[in-house]
Structure 1
Amino acid sequence: MQESVMSESQETRLEPALLRLLGVLVLGAILALLDATVVNVGIDSLGKEFDSPLSTIQWVATGYLLAVAVMVPISGWAIDRFGGRAVWITGLAVFLGGSLLTGFAWDAGSLIVFRILTGFGGGVLEPTMLTLLARAAGPARAGRVMGLMSLPLMLGPVIGPVIGGVVLEWLDWQWLFFFKVPIGIVAVVLALKVVPGAEKGGGQAQPFDLRGVLLLCPGFAALMYAFSQAGGIEGFGQTRVVVGLIAGVVLILGYVIHAFGSKIAPLVDLRLFSSWGFSASVAAMFLVGGMLYSLLFLVPLYYQQVRGNGALAAGLLLAPQGLGALVGMPLAGRLSDKLGAKLLVPAGAALVAIGTVGYTQAGASSNLVVLAACSVVSGLGLGMVGAPAIASVYRTVPPSSAAGASSALMILNQIGGSMTVALVAWVLASKTLAADSLTTGFHHAFWWVVGAAVIVFLFGFLLPGRPEQQPAPEPVKESGDPVPGAA
């Protein structure tokens, strides 16, 4: 019995090299995750600075989003072809270069172009981080590592509005972009020392799937564009939204046909979806993206529009959700290595539903302490859903397929988030107009988030249960291959 306990402890412990790798990758990835929400807070200020209408300046956010959408599918092939270390450092360097150039933009056009360049770099960071950590941790420690790694997924979008508010309150607009550069330089220096140079499964000379790129990347980007334009009273009936959705669906269906008939390795291997465990886990992350980004959209907007708070105050009032996630993710990640996702995901979804119900009753004078408690509960629930679901994805594929799994995971997570935000934005606008009450509109929008949580609760029971015991993975050697044969 004692030997069994010791064996399990040795199998799941995180050695210092792996913890350093985790820290360095999180430091770089959180910059990209902060980027979108920091800039979104400043859209109005940027429009005034460059004397540009909203229809033009919104491309600062939309252009970045579309650049990310183009790069996410390519990242899996690039990792297998060039190795995760090379892709990570290159992506981080492009991201930092684009951020620096954006701060020196002289008009709206140059601002948008440099933001697109930044998106090309940022689009490879999160999939590369997921792949490197999944390979380094192995199935036995996937839950613990993904629980710790998932913190920036939750905290980045929460902290972003706070940073954006502080910058706009005290500094010039350029610092929306400049603040990332010194942190990123530190991340690059540390990555050169810590990130393995030739991780297991990397560097394979796979042919480049050009046809897949020409189908999947613009298809994903078209869907992301359509969802980004679907908010407001006109919703999904706008011509540009309909055209974007049709183009996206047609291109992705074309990719599906191509992927199953291709003689070379497709950009994203759809055969991964033949595994029920993988399909269920990725679908759960699609729904998690919907819940997370809907709350990140609705909660600050409620504080600004219903209660009259400024951008900085609204960002600070979102912090309790991040606090809940800060507690929930590492705890759920550790537990998922023993219990699996089947128990933790429904429990987390129930907490999200309970916390969000409080906002369905909130008005202009509701108790802030109660609402903060609701946000803590929701954040705790999101953490309990996200970490086990991500870990479950990597337990259902071999290490050699981790890069393709990361691309599929990121694509569906972002589509889920964008689609649900567009839906709740349309519900908010239409119900506010119908009832002539902004508060009523928010109540209906929050109820849609509760509905999504209920779906995740039911769907969670279909996820894989307790993970099978796996052999301990080889320890990570910094700036090199895993140490063969080490205990």
Structure 2
Amino acid sequence: MSSKDSLGPRLLGVIAVVLFGGLLGILNSTMAAVAAGTLARDFDTSLSTIGWTSTGFLLAVTATIPFTTWAVDRFGGKRLWLAGLLLFIAGSFGAGMAWNVGSLIAFRVLQGIGAGLLDPLVLILLARAAGPRRAGRVMGLMGVVLSLGPVLGPIAGGAVLASLPWRWMFLLSVPFGAVAYLLARRVIPADGRGEPQEAGLDVLGLALLGPGFGAVVLALSQTAEHGTVAAWQPLLPLGVGAALLLGYGIHARRRAEPLIDLRLFANRGFSASVTIMGLGGLSLFAALFALPLYYQQVHGHGVFAAGLLMAPIGLGGAVAMPLAGRMSDRIGARGLATGGAIVAALSTLALTRVGPDTPEMWPALAAFALGLGSGCFSAPTMGSLYRTLPGPMVAQGSSVLYMLNQLGAALGVALVTLILQTAEGPVAGFHGVAWFSFAVIVIVLAAIPLLPGRPQAPAEQYVPDQMARTS
């Protein structure tokens, strides 16, 4: 392998610092969920009200991501990264010192704004630092964080609650965030301000796109809470979100430089990549939501034990992603993604066979295989996405990917909740979720042939017509 293609010490340092900062947001997005009962008791309020500490965080992340698309080229990636860390640290400290449920929700929203800056910047900074030749292996390293973060969050939250007051779930992020900030100042190279933006911020586009996606995510969260889409609580934000997104589509076609250029989707490779990542995330989040309930309701385990039994799915992804990403830089994404999707599909089929008498070892092995399979199609797909995009479009592509990922996670939780609530018992509900995941992965398999072939150097300049012809 040529030195040009290898990951030197300097690049490895940037990768480590960026992933460390990005992990903070991922952990906090899942950690607070295990404390819902404790928070409801301490603040003497309902679980539905406490649920807004997680919903508010998620909505703030979703609404902030489109702004990051514009701001990264206006202010520079390093400046924006440091600002995101400061907001996240401030939100963490405030949440840890919250005096009532309203202040806790408000500081969680501030945390979410910081995470909304950091999340897409992880992809943008790594993609720009690595370049197209090393995109697969760098995205594979990022996949370790994406795989372990959702699993480690509940485990870490359970460990903190077992030995410390709930406030430390948030306060512990302050020193870690401070270390991430100091390391980022030292290690991440200054990139200055990006290309001059004559059109300035697309204010109308931002006002339509961020709240539009946020409203749809809220509708899906309300569907999960109420167990139906027919109630006014999910229908109202769903209608508002659909109207805002439709308005953005009309606006983007008329504006010369919209916040996110919808002509990106004319590129078959880009559309296939974001579709596969969105569906893969939906399937994986369905398993992450259903497996702990299976261990608790069917086998009688506590929250912390169920969290530990979730570790195999994260470990599988952490093992597969770096290897698959590295290989995809040489041989392309299609073969690896196909093999991974087949393994993931077989794993979900295995989960349809577990029952109350099944030893925990078997669903744990199936979950590990699901993590392996998902990692084998996720990392190559992410790598192919960044090989497809010209440099100036990396920020927009990252925002699209993250917004669809948030949407997929919310949709997965909502659908899994509906499946479990309409099933005849916990085992039947878990089997229904496994069949749902299997169906989603079959769709992923159908989309994989649309991915780009062997790695090629991307175009230097964004030309929509040229991108539309790229395969």
Which residue in 2 is equivalent to 1:420? Answer: 412
Is structure 2 residue 12 aligned with structure 1 residue 24?
A: no
Which residue in 2 is equivalent to 1:93? Answer: 86
SS at match of 2:229: helix
Tell me how far 1:365 sits from its aligned partner. 2.6
Q: Write out per-residue CA displacement over residues 314-337 of structure 1, whole angstroms, 9 at most, x where no aligned residue.
A: 110000111111110001100110
Which residue in 2 is equivalent to 1:157? Answer: 150
Which residue in 2 is equivalent to 1:181? Answer: 174
Residue identity over aligned pairs, in percent, reads 46
SS at match of 2:191: coil
- Tell me how far apart the structure 2 counterparts of residues 233 and 227 of structure 1 sit (CA, whole Å): 10
Which residue in 2 is equivalent to 1:375? Answer: 367
- Tell me how far apart the structure 2 counterparts of residues 448 and 206 of structure 1 sit (CA, whole Å): 44
Which residue in 2 is equivalent to 1:343? Answer: 335
SS at match of 1:12: coil
* Aligned residue identity for 1:250: A
Which residue in 2 is equivalent to 1:456? Answer: 444
Is structure 2 residue 73 aligned with structure 1 residue 80?
A: yes
Which residue in 1 is equivalent to 2:277? Answer: 285
Which residue in 2 is equivalent to 1:297? Answer: 289
- Tell me how far apart the structure 2 counterparts of residues 101 and 111 of structure 1 sit (CA, whole Å): 7
- Tell me how far apart the structure 2 counterparts of residues 470 and 261 of structure 1 sit (CA, whole Å): 27
Greater CA drift, 21-30 or 417-426:
417-426
Tell me how far 1:358 sits from its aligned partner. 2.4
Q: Which runs of 5+ in 1 are unaligned?
A: 1-7, 472-487
Query: Aligned-pair RMSD on alpha carbons?
Result: 1.6
CA contact (8 A) 1:346 1:458 kept: no
Which residue in 2 is equivalent to 1:67? Answer: 60
Residue 465 of structure 1: which of 445, 453, 463 is its match?
Answer: 453
- Tell me how far apart the structure 2 counterparts of residues 339 and 44 of structure 1 sit (CA, whole Å): 49
Counterparts of residues 230-241 of structure 1 (less than 5 Å)? 230-231=223-224, 234-241=227-234
Q: TM-score, structure 1 length as denominator?
A: 0.91
Q: TM-score, structure 2 length as denominator?
A: 0.95
Is structure 2 residue 103 aligned with structure 1 residue 115?
A: no
Q: Which runs of 5+ in 2 are unaligned?
A: 460-471
Tell me how far 1:111 sits from its aligned partner. 0.7
- Tell me how far apart the structure 1 counterparts of residues 21 and 226 of structure 2 sit (CA, whole Å): 38
Question: Structure 1 residues 240, 167: closer, same or farther in 2, change over 3 A?
Answer: same
* Aligned residue identity for 2:437: V
Which residue in 2 is equivalent to 1:407? Answer: 399
Which residue in 2 is equivalent to 1:323? Answer: 315
CA contact (8 A) 1:347 1:457 kept: no
Tell me how far 1:32 sits from its aligned partner. 0.2
- Tell me how far apart the structure 2 counterparts of residues 254 and 75 of structure 1 sit (CA, whole Å): 20
SS at match of 2:450: coil
Which residue in 2 is equivalent to 1:439? Answer: 427
Q: Write out per-residue CA displacement over residues 36-55 of structure 1, whole angstroms, 9 at most, x where no aligned residue.
A: 11001111111111111112
* Aligned residue identity for 2:430: F
Question: Structure 1 residues 206, 196: closer, same or farther in 2, change over 3 A?
Answer: farther
- Tell me how far apart the structure 1 counterparts of residues 14 and 330 of structure 2 sit (CA, whole Å): 23
Which residue in 2 is equivalent to 1:482? Answer: none
SS at match of 1:237: coil
CA contact (8 A) 1:83 1:202 kept: no
SS at match of 1:468: coil
Tell me how far 1:364 sits from its aligned partner. 2.1
* Aligned residue identity for 2:436: W
Residue 222 of structure 2: which of 217, 229, 238 is its match?
Answer: 229
Question: Structure 1 residues 199, 270: closer, same or farther in 2, change over 3 A?
Answer: farther
- Tell me how far apart the structure 2 counterparts of residues 202 and 377 of structure 1 sit (CA, whole Å): 44
Greater CA drift, 283-292 or 156-165:
283-292
